[in-house]
A = this chain, B = another copy of it.
Amino acid sequence: MPLQRFEKLDPDRQQAILAAARTEFAARGFSGASYNAIIKAAGLSKGAMYYYFADKADLCRTVIERVLAQLADAAGELGPFDDAPGFWREIRALTGRAMLEMLAMPELADLTRLIYGEGSSSEILGPLIERAEAWCTETLAAGQPVGAVRSDIPLSFLATAVLGLLVHTDRWIAERLDTLEAAELERLSLACLDMVEHLATPVPDPNPARA
């Protein structure tokens, strides 16, 4: 949430600022990025920058929020379904769309990784984490009515587990993107979604209580 003034700024200028910030934050993370460098790259003065954004965290939040919106836009909504397999089919379709977008724009992936990479300790990016977990929780909740998602543990707990798994495997894959065959990449991504499905599916493998 930049100061309201930002919205009234010449759109080219807006884009210049956001682009510079995107580049710097994606490359060096939040605390690693130099606000001064962003200001210089964006071609304005310190006073101007602080006139439009409250502080470094504000700019970073804004950048990531836009990126998240872009991602959400690309991923779209869960389509209709009326049983558990249908739910998981839709989940796969949605994450597939999101993955395509991220592959097409690596900076986007870096930025989303930023949320969990540094946000956990500092409260600066905390709200973004909460939003991500809230979204995940809601999505999982949609699968409960058709019996696709367990409800024996708090849904937010399950969402956290799922997100943790996804975030880390995503990082694993990102680190090896160059050396990974396309087929292997797809196989791992699917394996990943299988894991998520197994995590979320109700009582995946109980030994049925005797009598």
Given the known interface contacts A192-B161, A198-B198, A199-B199, the answer about A171 and B204 at a Cβ–Cβ threshold of 8 Å is no
Q: Is A156 an interface residue (CB 8 A)?
A: yes
- Copy number of this protein in the oligomer? 2
By a CB distance below 8 angstroms, the chain B residues around A120 are 113, 116-117, 171
Q: Is A143 an interface residue (CB 8 A)?
A: no
Task: Identify which of A61-69, A92-100, A162-170 touches chain B.
Answer: A162-170
Given the known interface contacts A198-B198, A198-B205, the answer about A157 and B188 at a Cβ–Cβ threshold of 8 Å is yes
Distance between Cα atoms of A166 and B31 in the complex (Å): 25
Asked if A172 and B191 make an inter-chain contact with CB atoms under 8 angstroms apart, the answer reads no
Distance between Cα atoms of A165 and B199 in the complex (Å): 10
By a CB distance below 8 angstroms, the chain B residues around A187 are 153
By a CB distance below 8 angstroms, the chain B residues around A1 are none
Taking chain A's interface residues, is the majority helix, strand, or loop, or is none over half, making it mixed? helix
Q: Is A146 an interface residue (CB 8 A)?
A: no
Q: Is A32 an interface residue (CB 8 A)?
A: yes
Q: Closest chain B residue to A191 by CB distance?
A: B153
Asked if A117 and B121 make an inter-chain contact with CB atoms under 8 angstroms apart, the answer reads yes
Q: Closest chain B residue to A171 by CB distance?
A: B120
By a CB distance below 8 angstroms, the chain B residues around A188 are 153-154, 157
By a CB distance below 8 angstroms, the chain B residues around A195 are 161, 199
Q: Is A114 an interface residue (CB 8 A)?
A: yes
Q: Is A118 an interface residue (CB 8 A)?
A: yes
Contact with B along A38-68 (1 / 0, CB 8 A): 0000000000000000000000000000000
Given the known interface contacts A167-B168, A169-B157, A199-B198, the answer about A114 and B118 at a Cβ–Cβ threshold of 8 Å is no
Shortest beta-carbon contacts, A-B, top 4? A164-B168, A29-B121, A31-B31, A160-B172
Interface residues of A (CB under 8 A from B): 28-29, 31-32, 113-114, 116-118, 120-122, 152-154, 156-157, 160-161, 163-169, 171-172, 187-188, 191-192, 195, 198-199, 204-205
